Structure 1
Amino acid sequence: MIPEHVTHAVSKALFMLPPAMTSPQARVLLFAIGLQESRFENRRQLIKKDGELLPLGPAKSYWQGERTGGMCKGVVNHDASRYWMAHVCQARDVPFNATAIWNAIETDDVLAAAAARLLLFTDPKRLPEVGDVGGAWNLYLRVWRPGKPHPQTWTNLYMEAMRMLA
């Protein structure tokens, strides 16, 4: 289940971006990737320490962006996303740099959703059509570059994300 505060944050984030970036394909991908990365349960990457899972990892937000990764450094530096990320940062009162974005996305779901959408925008290929589970998986691998991908969970989570469009 995707929490209402997440659907609200995604809508608010997409409202700050050009209409061409607010497609159903983009929305499904944002929901699917957030489900894959955190199940929308943890805003900080969990790591095992002393036999316990603790929120101390390098990735923040439901979309698990790292400071030197695509959601922070990437969207600040990429020609396709730089302008819009600066716009979103200004609207969210966050300095336009990777470290400030990384610090803010742990609690600012709107900023995090916008950064995630803009990271998708940096990919030169078109977004896969809604329902193209394999194409969506390939995009996720290409753009998020997960360290430990879990293909066995993707299809069900993607289907759940598609249900959010109904």
Structure 2
Amino acid sequence: MSWLDLGWLKTSDGWEFHPWGPFNRAYLLSDGEAAAFRRRVRTVRGLVLLGVIAAVALSLWAKAWLPLVGFALVGTALEAIGMWVLVKSLPRSEKALGFDAGIVYLARWFGPKLTRVAKVLTILLLALAAYLLWLAPQIIESYLLLGLFVGLLYVLHYLEAVQQTKE
């Protein structure tokens, strides 16, 4: 699965689509509708991704770093608007997946290999953040980066534990 496929869950009745995560109600599709709808979702997400990459490349070419955050926010908003337009006419599920089923879904989507790679990268970034903290303990961002990567490592460890219990 790729990022373009995030949010799809196969059920006994067909497919559920969770464009805004497992904590919101899903959109229901039959097996026949799912393939065509999935292509439209991939198209919207792919176009938004290409637009953000082009905008980032343009800002790097112009040597303007500040708009990068704005481009990420605009890309997120465009993707959300595109998904809303696509799903507004679909039937909804009775209830959301919830936290437990959502974590299991994310663990399945990540898979053991991607989780392991993400853990290694996070450990390297954690070491870099610790080094930055050692170099400049007076800079508040050093503490924030360290906390961010410790939290991310905890989430990845939790996903790995969920994967092992579900296998």
Q: Could you tell me the TM-score, scaled by structure 1's length? A: 0.25
Q: Which structure has the highest helix share of the two? A: 2
